[in-house]
């Protein structure tokens, strides 16, 4: 059993931070940890004693509560000083990414170097005085804040230059920008705004709704949404056909929880029926979703991967021309630190890619700002690094994103999840879109971006994650998406 210890000034480490903190190894896979804290000290116990990185949400002036990580640290008897190590970790990430992008030709303006030098200056001062002193802590906090400023400027330069290069080849990028329409047809005003903002749409296909009673199908809602998309010239992503959670699986399927053969047979019949019905009407099959997390589903990991492989095979065999993807949510895999699971999501994805099933690409579901069941807020640089990490699998990526516009209770939300921090407002949601969506469009391996929820006035999964508020009014984020589409996309 290994243990790592961190100290900070009293009151800086809260119970929420303790709940969300975890350790990961060189491969970025979280270890299972037991976390305790008291008297300004954080203790993390894990099965391994290897060097690792601490990840913890940290309040930073101007950024709210953002997930930060230390550099790789070895175990040692004495405690590490947390503010100083978080500053060291972010500065290390920043300098490494700066060098990497410069090697491939990025022109880095002086303002980025100046901001980096300022952050390094604060860190140097914090490192040479008593680490436990209030002055060292303040200097370390300033180092983190200035490092994040420098990272934002660096990513902005990268985004601007890469998009400019891509647009020299084609004036408008071919990337799909879409939204999940949900099951309810749009009112005319909302429909007009959706067509203005997006060139694609995701039409959900919940097994639970389609086959509420075994053997009886109701395709009416999906038919309407697909037909509307085709009439408006929107590209259609249909699915996930099998999404591994109880909100998508029909209740009657619980009768077959212990009968894997029957489950495979029933799933196969449903997938075949869906693909044959909509073949020729869709542009992207989302064959399986949430393979890795599978909340409230008792299926073993191996069975979920086999079922996902079966859906890929069926989609490819029945419709050889249309691309097929599977999706993984929570791609940082924070949940592994508290739940015993055998396969990290990247490993399961690698298995499916290497199986030569005809899989076209992978989709990542990133519900930002939610915990549990979502992805804690990361800065732009860490967001970019994680996308690049998944791109190592060598297939196109698609991303579904969502972020809240409020921290207030949401009676229409079906998922029990919290919204850590206090920064989320309609303006903050729009600002997140303005800062992060261009980065996604700059990634040449990323072929599509979808917003995960449309309406707050209808039942939805994540609190306040829609683009229309509870009164049906468009949020600023929708206007921001329309502006991005007009500037960059077909």
Q: Which residues contact 205 (CB under 8 A, 6 or more apart)?
A: 222, 238, 239, 240, 241, 274
Region 225-240 average pLDDT: 97
Region 363-380 average pLDDT: 96
Which pLDDT does position 161 carry in this prediction?
97
Q: How far apart are CA 473 and CA 465, in angstroms?
A: 13
The last residue of one of the domains, among 123, 146, 164, is 164
Using CA atoms, how far residue 56 sits from 22, 206, 390, in Å, is: 7, 35, 21
Which pLDDT does position 294 carry in this prediction?
64
Region 118-139 average pLDDT: 95
Same domain flag for 184 and 305:
yes
Same domain flag for 220 and 83:
no
CB 335 within 8 A of CB 372: yes
Range of 35-39, 241-245, 256-260, 361-365 with top mean pLDDT: 361-365
Q: How far apart are CA 17 and CA 56, in angstroms?
A: 6
CB 377 within 8 A of CB 65: yes
Same domain flag for 117 and 259:
no
Region 113-129 average pLDDT: 97
Which pLDDT does position 193 carry in this prediction?
97
Which pLDDT does position 383 carry in this prediction?
98
Q: Flag the least confident range among 119-133, 195-209, 253-267, 459-473.
A: 253-267
Which pLDDT does position 295 carry in this prediction?
64
Same domain flag for 208 and 159:
no
Q: Which of 447, 217, 206 is nearest to 324 (CA)?
A: 447
The last residue of one of the domains, among 164, 198, 231, is 164
Same domain flag for 358 and 269:
yes
Same domain flag for 345 and 463:
yes
Same domain flag for 182 and 157:
no
The last residue of one of the domains, among 164, 188, 217, is 164
Full 3-state SS string of the chain: CEEEEEECCCCCCCHHHHHHCEEECCCCCECCCEEEEECCEEEEEECCCCCEEEEEEEEECCCEEEEEECCCECCCCCCEEHHHHHHHHHHHHHHHHHHHHHHCCCCCCHHHHHHHHHHHHHHHHHHHCCCCCHHHHHHHHHHHHHHHHHHHHHHHHHHHHHHHHHHHHCCCECCEEEEECCCCCCCHHHHHHHHHHCCEEEECCCHHHHCCECCECCCHHHHHHHHHHHHHCCEEEECCCEECCCCCCCHHHHHHCCCHHHHHHHHHHHHHHHHHHHCCCCCEEEEEECCCCCCCCCCCHHHHHHHHHHHHHHHHHHCCCCCEEEEEECCCCHHHHCCCCCCCHHHHHHHHHHCCCCCCEEEEEEEECCECCCECCCCHHHHHHHHHHHHCCCCCEEEEEECCCCCCCCCCECCCCECCCCCCCHHHHHHHHHHHHHHHHHCCCEEEEEECCCECCCCECCCCCCCECCCCCECHHHHHHHHHHHHHEC
Tokens of 267: 């799933």
Tokens of 197: 């903002």
Same domain flag for 191 and 280:
yes
Tokens of 110: 């002086």
Which pLDDT does position 10 carry in this prediction?
66
Which pLDDT does position 296 carry in this prediction?
57
Kindly calculate the radius of gyration of the chain based on its CA atoms and give it in whole angstroms: 23
Which pLDDT does position 245 carry in this prediction?
86
pLDDT for residue 91 is more than 90: yes
Global pTM value: 0.96
Region 273-301 average pLDDT: 89
pLDDT for residue 84 is more than 80: yes
Same domain flag for 436 and 308:
yes
Tell me the CATH number at 300: 3.20.20.80
Which pLDDT does position 247 carry in this prediction?
83
Q: What's the pLDDT tens digit per position in 405-439? A: 999 999 999 998 999 877 899 999 999 999 999 99
Query: What percent of the chain lies above the pLDDT cut of 70?
Result: 99
pLDDT band at 38 (very low <50, low <70, confident <90, very high): confident
Expressed as residue numbers, the domain containing 92 is 2-164
Which pLDDT does position 270 carry in this prediction?
97
Same domain flag for 205 and 283:
yes
Which pLDDT does position 35 carry in this prediction?
93
Q: Is 73 left (phi over 0), alpha (psi -120 to 50) or beta?
A: beta
pLDDT for residue 73 is more than 80: yes
Which pLDDT does position 323 carry in this prediction?
98
Our count of domains for the chain comes to: 2
Q: What's the pLDDT tens digit per position in 311-368? A: 999 999 999 999 999 999 999 999 999 887 778 999 999 999 999 999 999 999 999 9
Same domain flag for 310 and 180:
yes
pLDDT for residue 70 is more than 80: yes
Average per-residue pLDDT in the chain?
Answer: 94
Number of other residues whose CB lies within 10 A of the CB of residue 422: 11
Q: What dihedral angle (degrees, nearest 10) is formed by the CA atoms of 400, 403, 408, 410?
A: -20
Tokens of 359: 């899989």
Same domain flag for 93 and 219:
no
Q: What's the pLDDT tens digit per position in 445-486? A: 999 999 999 999 999 999 999 999 999 999 999 999 999 999
Which pLDDT does position 141 carry in this prediction?
96
């Amino acid at each position: 059993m290994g243990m790592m210890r961190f100290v900070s000034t009293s009151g800086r480490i809260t119970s929420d931070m303790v709940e969300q903190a975890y350790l990961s190894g060189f491969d970025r896979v979280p270890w299972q940890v037991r976390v305790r804290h008291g008297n300004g000290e954080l203790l993390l116990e894990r099965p391994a004693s290897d060097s690792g990185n601490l990840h913890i949400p940290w309040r930073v002036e101007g950024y709210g509560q953002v997930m930060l990580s230390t550099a790789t640290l070895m175990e040692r008897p004495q405690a590490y000083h947390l503010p100083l190590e978080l500053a060291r970790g972010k500065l290390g990430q920043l300098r490494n990414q700066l060098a990497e992008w410069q090697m491939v030709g990025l022109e880095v303006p002086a303002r980025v170097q100046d901001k980096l030098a300022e952050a390094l200056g604060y860190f140097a001062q914090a490192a040479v005085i008593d680490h436990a002193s209030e002055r060292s802590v303040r200097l370390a906090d300033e180092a983190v804040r200035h490092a994040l400023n420098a990272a934002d400027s660096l990513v902005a330069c990268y985004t601007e230059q890469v998009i400019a290069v891509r647009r020299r080849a084609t004036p408008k990028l071919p990337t799909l920008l879409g939204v999940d329409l949900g099951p309810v047809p749009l009112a005319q005003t909302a429909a007009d705004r959706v067509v203005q903002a997006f060139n694609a749409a995701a039409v959900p296909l919940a097994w639970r709704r389609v086959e509420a009673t075994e053997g009886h199908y109701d395709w009416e809602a999906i038919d309407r949404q697909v037909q509307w998309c085709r009439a408006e010239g929107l590209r259609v992503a249909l699915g996930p056909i099998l999404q591994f959670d109880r909100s998508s699986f029909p209740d009657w399927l619980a009768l077959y929880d212990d009968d894997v053969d029957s489950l495979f047979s029933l799933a196969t019949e449903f997938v075949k029926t869906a693909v044959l019905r909509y073949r020729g009407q869709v542009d992207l099959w989302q064959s399986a979703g949430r393979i890795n997390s599978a909340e409230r589903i008792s299926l073993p990991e191996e069975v979920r991967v086999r079922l996902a492989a079966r859906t890929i095979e069926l989609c490819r065999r029945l419709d050889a021309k249309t691309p097929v993807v599977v999706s993984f949510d929570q791609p940082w895999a924070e949940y592994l630190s508290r739940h015993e699971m055998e396969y990290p999501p990247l490993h399961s994805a690698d298995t499916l890619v290497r199986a030569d099933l005809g899989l076209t690409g992978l989709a990542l579901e990133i519900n930002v700002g939610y915990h549990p069941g979502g992805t804690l807020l990361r800065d732009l640089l860490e967001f970019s690094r994680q996308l690049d990490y998944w791109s190592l699998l060598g297939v196109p990526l698609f991303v579904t994103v969502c972020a809240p516009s409020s921290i207030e209770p949401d009676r229409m939300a079906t998922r029990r999840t919290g919204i850590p921090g206090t920064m989320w407002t309609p303006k903050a949601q729009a600002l997140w879109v303005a800062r992060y969506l261009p980065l996604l469009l700059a990634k040449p391996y990323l072929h599509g971006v979808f917003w995960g929820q449309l309406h707050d006035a209808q039942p939805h999964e994540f609190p306040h994650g829609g683009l229309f508020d509870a009164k049906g009014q468009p949020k600023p984020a929708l206007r921001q998406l329309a502006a991005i589409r007009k500037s960059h996309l077909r």
